[in-house]
Amino acid sequence: MQEKFKGIVIKASDFKEADKLATIFSLENGIISAKFTGVKKDKAKFKAVARAFVFADFVMSQKGQSITITQAEILDDFGKILLDYGKTMCGYIVLDMVRSILPTQKPEEDIFLLTLTALKNVENSNELVATIDYILKFFSFSGVQLDFPDTDIAYLDQISGNFTTQRVENALLIDKKVFAALKSIGGGNPLDNLNSNILKQSLRLLHNIIYLKFGVDLKSFQFI
């Protein structure tokens, strides 16, 4: 049976002598695993498709639980992301969140469209701001509440993963500039004076919250 779908390649790894196994975030079916056959051979037709960040129209053939890609047309390869180290690392955070948090074979149209927009923003604008914006929206679309108290001084409750104005047990005091950065980006109006150090600290804080909220430790954050 042949089936068409749109998808973003999240991860691709070598399989056997000439094939690759890929994790693909599809619009129609959510996260799926699929095989690209013969792509490690010279002049293989899917060589440019079987890599992370590629957004394409795919045709798959399914036999039992095994899915093989039989056709593919690239819609966007987000090529500029891979030309810059910082953009590459932020791009992998976006892909890592999808791969590690979303359930398999469950359509997530809102997050799919959000992910496409995030990759385009990582490619063409400030990648740190774009990644923070993506994570905050990912929380919301996933039903995870993260409220920002109307205060300059806030703590992170390391049990619930929520911000609080009270210094409860296990609470972590948040740097004022980091908290202001998160509030401004979450409100859709990033502050003009955000430097890369504050943005990187903000991302590391969000990594902590991701672990508290979802129970996953995303390895891609170690490069930020």
**Residue in this structure with the two tokens 């890609």, named with its chain if needed:** 69
User: Does 164 score more than 70 pLDDT?
Assistant: yes
Mean pLDDT, residues 175-195 = 92
Delimit the domains of the chain by residue range: 2-76, 79-223
Mean pLDDT, residues 127-134 = 97
State pLDDT tens for residues 66-82: 889 999 999 999 999 99
Pick from 9-13, 44-48, 116-120: least confident: 44-48
The percentage of the chain sitting over the pLDDT mark of 70, rounded to a whole number, equals 100
Q: What is the pLDDT of residue 105?
A: 82
What CA–CA distance (Å, rounded) separates 92 from 74?
Answer: 19
Fold of 2-76: OB fold (Dihydrolipoamide Acetyltransferase, E2P) (2.40.50)
User: Does 224 score more than 90 pLDDT?
Assistant: no
The DSSP result for the chain, as a single string, is -EEEEEEEEEEEEEETTTEEEEEEEETTTEEEEEEETTTTSTT-TTTTTSSTT-EEEEEEEEETTEEEEEEEEEEE--GGGGGSHHHHHHHHHHHHHHHHHSPBT---HHHHHHHHHHHHHHHHS-HHHHHHHHHHHHHHHTT------SSS--EEETTT--EESS--TTEEEPPHHHHHHHHHHHTT---TT--HHHHHHHHHHHHHHHHHHH----GGGGG-
Mean pLDDT, residues 133-143 = 95
Q: What is the pLDDT of residue 152?
A: 86
Q: What is the pLDDT of residue 1?
A: 67
Is 0.85 topped by the overall pTM? yes
Mean pLDDT, residues 195-219 = 95
User: Does 166 score more than 90 pLDDT?
Assistant: no
Q: What is the pLDDT of residue 191?
A: 86
Q: What is the pLDDT of residue 216?
A: 94
Considering the segment(s) 79-223 as one domain, its CATH architecture is Up-down Bundle (1.20)
Q: Is 160 exposed, middle or buried (0-12, 13-18, 19+ CB in 10 A)?
A: middle
Q: Are 9 and 24 in contact, with CB atoms under 8 Å apart?
A: yes
- With cut-offs at 50, 70 and 90, classify the pLDDT of residue 28: very high
